[in-house]
Amino acid sequence: MEFLSVIVATAVSFGIGAGYYGALAKPWIAASGVECDADGQPKGSQNPMTYALAFLLQLIVVGMMRHVFTLSGIDTLGAGLVSGLGIGLFFITPWIALNNLYGGRPVMLTVIDGGYATLACAAAGLVLTLF
Query: Tens digits of per-residue pLDDT, 41-95?
Result: 888 777 899 999 999 999 999 999 999 999 999 999 999 999 999 999 999 999 9
Residue 108 lies in a domain: yes
The pLDDT, as a whole number, for residue 43 is 80
In a domain, 95, yes or no: yes
Residue 72 counted as domain residue: yes
- Long-range CB contact pairs, 58-61, < 8 A, 24+: 58/10, 58/13, 58/14, 58/17, 58/120, 59/6, 59/7, 59/10, 61/92, 61/121, 61/124
Domains contained in the chain, number: 1
Q: Is residue 39 part of a domain?
A: no
Examine residue 10 and state whether it is found in any structural domain, yes or no.
yes
% of the chain exceeding 90 in pLDDT: 86
Query: Does residue 109 carry a pLDDT above 80?
Result: yes
Range of the domain at 99: 2-34+44-128
Model confidence at 4: pLDDT above 90: yes
